[in-house]
Amino acid sequence: MQNVYDVIIVGGGIAGYSAALTLQSLRRKFLWMGTELLGSKLRSAEYVRNYPALLGDGALFAARIEEQMAREGVVFTKKRADGIYAGEPFTVLAGEESFFSRAVILATGVSLAGTIGGEEEFLGRGVSYCAVCDGALYRGKTVAAVLARPVYAEEAEYLAGFAAQVHAFCLYPDPVFHAENIVAHTQMPRAVEGGMRVERLVLADGSLPVDGVFLLRDAAPPAALVGGLRTEGSAVVTARDCSTNLKGLFAAGDVTGRPYQYAKAAGEGQVAAYSAHAFLQGTGS
């Protein structure tokens, strides 16, 4: 006979953890799986300024969560989901194995696959994906921002409020900025280089000394993992209760779109868990 979980949570970041913590308190039978516990995006933050009551870096954040997991008996299973198939029950494929559940919470974050040399090497050491999270670390310094679309101009303006100078590399024509300390470029930088931290950006015709590099762009669509899932760009379309167009499938965290922040991910993880619980009771959407 199949072992059918109430809920399978896919994604080992803060959204997945928050969902797991909530389902644990609701005494649900669940499987929390992910490629890695908490992941590099949580562990590599230089200093977290915007998560309530947390004073420290990503390593401290991860240590606190692991301590809480042990106290609350939350178990993480290291597995990558290769496909999620809606049905009664849902089927989650992970390598050669299949897992079954009545509901699924998708908390897979956004893909940050590197496109610039040195991006992964300097992540958390001068490379960032979030101006709002890390902009204040560069007060009075020189930063570069690579903007995939005009919508990211807002984040470059935000950076300009802290940095002495912002070099905005816009991958679209005719960029417009209001702050006087933004210098617009229309080329793709080749690489990030430095020593212990970022020191310069390599361009086609030389290099530019910078203290930090912000890579502001979208991610790959999660619809590749879940057939039939409604998305807008890279984000899963959700209702306020984190439900998606697939009955019994909920989504939380970065995978539902911006802002890409811990507090939003944790909040949505909890909402998704309560919504899955209500769905299983027959009272939710």
Contacts of 235 (CB under 8 A, 6+ apart): 255, 256, 257, 258
- DSSP element (H, E) containing 170: strand 165-170
In the bound complex, what is the minimum distance in angstroms from residue 40's beta carbon to ligand FAD? 7
In this structure, the chain runs to a length of 285
Q: Is 123 in the site for ligand FAD (CB under 6 A)?
A: yes
In the bound complex, what is the minimum distance in angstroms from residue 189's beta carbon to ligand FAD? 18
Q: Is 104 in the site for ligand FAD (CB under 6 A)?
A: no
In the bound complex, what is the minimum distance in angstroms from residue 262's beta carbon to ligand FAD? 4
Q: Is 11 in the site for ligand FAD (CB under 6 A)?
A: yes
Separation between Cα atoms, residue 72 and residue 21, nearest integer Å: 8
In the bound complex, what is the minimum distance in angstroms from residue 194's beta carbon to ligand FAD? 15
One residue of 14, 65, 74, 210 binding ligand FAD per CB under 6 A? 14
Identify which range of 67-75, 124-132, 169-177, 205-213 contacts ligand FAD by CB under 6 A.
Answer: 124-132
Residue whose token pair is 């310094």: 141
Q: Which two tokens stand for residue 274?
A: 């309560």
Residue whose token pair is 């890390």: 134
DSSP class of residue 223 equals: G
Contact 148, 127 (CB under 8 A): no
Task: Report the interface residues with ligand FAD, using CB under 6 A.
Answer: 10-16, 33-36, 39, 41-42, 44-45, 48, 50-51, 80-81, 107-109, 123-124, 128-130, 133, 225, 253-254, 260-263, 265
